[in-house]
Chains A and B, each alone.
Chain A
Amino acid sequence: MDLTPEEQRILAGENGEAARIAMAVLVDLGTVFGAERLIPVAQVHIDTTLYMVDAGVEFAERMAAAGGRFCVPASLNPAAVDLLHPERMRVPADLLENSRRLERAYLSMGAAPTWTCAPYQQGLIPRFGQQIAWAESNAIVFANSVIGARTNRYGDLMDICAAIVGKAPCFGLHLGPQRQADLVIDAAALPHSLRRDPAAYPLLGYVTGELAGDRIPAIVGIPADVPVRALKAFGAAAASSGAVGLFHMIGVTPEAGSLEMCTGGQKMEEIHVVTAEDLAEAAARLSDPDLRRPDLIVVGCPHYSYAEMTTLAGLLDGRRVHPDVACWAFTSRAVYGWMAESGLLRTLTDTGVTVFTDACPLQYPKSAWSFTAALSDSAKFANYCFSQTGLPSAIASLPECVETAVTGRHAPERSIWKRF
């Protein structure tokens, strides 16, 4: 790689040991993937925040102790637990202490305590065309696709290195010509009412990820006024069933005013027509068929926005959550603060909903709770639920999740998927 004199000095250790390690990692990664140089990034989103193994704590603490400081704005993905309300989540002392060690290390290096997997909803939001280095698969795909910022699918540890150096190796999705579509997903055959239903989008995303793998899909047939909430659910699903880092939605996302615009005029050889049956089959793959009495309802994977919390409260409409059911809603502490100020938090908690901040619904302390089955409106949650929590789970629309929260009963035979 072609390094500037300043980059060479950092690599030689002149800016300290943490910067030397960080630069060496970026240079090696760039060399592997054919990058000719490093490019400055405007901001970094760090995924190595969830306490899982001790190596993560050791890396963050040693980089901080070795003088590591973030030289660009850095936001943080969720912690393993609710750092503001650990007692509400019944967090064991050792898990809390390990999470606090990560918190201290990142804040000492200069990170903003965002603790959210949806950093694009508040705080440090990139602009169109901006070069960034983000980790967290749903955030990466949202930033690339919906905003038009540019990042590769970066992994844990690399994110910390990029924030310390303020640069990333220039390859892949950082480069315009590498952002063209590889295949077409045709959603125009779906019934109009389904294309206007936000509940269709996590399933359409799940199917798209399975078809695209690590390639870039262009989706046609989506209404121009599709809500952001649907795009967020679509991307999170596509980045969990596949390795999708960027999608183009024709007439919706900024690099796809037309199909030609995102294909570079190339004729697309691979076109997949998606039908309502395909979505129903995806829902079936993501659902335990015997699930009738879930005792955990999860929304907020990825973290809910203020608007989504308002929708949740509207659907509950003052009805109380069934005593046999826990209804958990996850969000950032920023949104939580707005909810507390406006009274929305009180409205939701009065119905029996528990609102958690900072945390990941897949990482709650399992041994402190005795749930038997989970229901969620998220394809990402449904995809990882069994492997991460051991609970059987199913996916449903948000209105269905709310009805189940109130009645304690889930009726998949009455699912919206049976009506198309």
Chain B
Amino acid sequence: MEKILKGSPVVSGRAFGVVLKSDLSISFWGGVDPRTGCIVDPRHDLFGRSVAGRVLAFPVGKGSSTGSLILLELTRVELAPAAIVTIHCEPILATGPIVIKHFYGQQIPVMTLSAQDFERLETGQRVIVDAVAGEIRFKIDKKSLS
């Protein structure tokens, strides 16, 4: 059966991908290597994982003004995440995907979820992020329901 999580679109668009989730905040500057798309902060639980093509889920963005620029570079070298799902979105996190939409004409949809619904996302889930309707859809198999 299909599960639908309702959220708020921050940057509109639709994407399909596999979830990469952390309960820690992410700073794109200093936290993600713009040449490889991998998380390079050794204190982070996603250390070494690539964000490229993933539905990247983390609770809140943090850090320097330069984070928006790193996301633009990841798009330029085709290593950007497919979508971003978060609980609290601040201006620096929103700026990257907004500029990417108007400058490169590409979409990195961004959505916020309630803390409770954010909990339902798991690394490895295949999801559809619909940041037009404000929905994240994924299939749950019957085993996990029981």
Q: Give A residues with C-beta under 8 Å from B.
A: 21, 24-25, 28-29, 32-33, 47-48, 50, 52-56, 58-59, 62, 135-137, 152-159, 161, 172, 214, 243, 384, 387-388
Contacts and interface: CB of A to CB of B under 8 A. Distances in A.
Number of chain B interface residues as a range:
20 to 34
A29 B94 contact: yes
A152 B91 contact: yes
Given A58-B76, A153-B91, A29 B65 contact: no
B103 A29 contact: no
Given A25-B98, A32-B11, A157 B64 contact: no
Q: Is the interface of B mostly helix, strand, loop or mixed?
A: helix
Contacts of A158: 68, 91, 95, 99
Contact of A24 (B41, B62, B70, B102): B102
B65 A156 contact: yes
B89 interface: yes
B91 A155 contact: yes
A58 B77 CA distance: 12
Contact of B95 (A62, A156, A387): A156
B34 A53 contact: yes
Interface of B: 10-11, 30, 34, 41, 62-70, 72-73, 75-76, 89-92, 94-96, 98-99, 101-103
A55 B68 contact: no
A136 B65 CA distance: 6
Contacts of B62: 243
Q: Interface centre among A25, A32, A62, by most B CB within 10 Å?
A: A32
B65 A154 contact: yes
Contacts, number: 102
B89 A135 contact: no
Contacts of B70: 52-53
Contacts of A21: 102-103
Nearest to B71: A55
Contacts of B95: 25, 29, 154-158
Contact of B98 (A28, A47, A54, A154): A28
A239 to B, nearest CB: 9
Given A25-B98, A32-B10, A243-B62, A55 B69 contact: yes
16 contacts: A21-B103, A24-B102, A29-B95, A29-B98, A32-B89, A32-B98, A59-B99, A59-B103, A136-B65, A154-B91, A154-B92, A155-B66, A155-B67, A156-B68, A158-B95, A243-B62
A48 B69 contact: yes
B42 to A, nearest CB: 9
Contact of B65 (A25, A33, A47, A214): A47
A64 to B, nearest CB: 13
Given A158-B68, A243-B90, A388-B30, A28 B11 contact: yes
B102 A55 contact: no
Given A54-B76, A159-B65, A172-B91, 15 more contacts: A25-B99, A25-B102, A28-B102, A29-B95, A32-B98, A52-B66, A52-B73, A53-B69, A53-B72, A55-B69, A136-B65, A152-B91, A154-B95, A155-B95, A157-B96
Given A21-B103, A29-B98, A158-B91, A153 B65 contact: yes
Given A28-B11, A29-B98, A214-B90, A155 B72 contact: no
A153 B90 CA distance: 9
Nearest to A169: B91
Contact of A55 (B67, B76, B101): B76
A137 B69 CA distance: 15
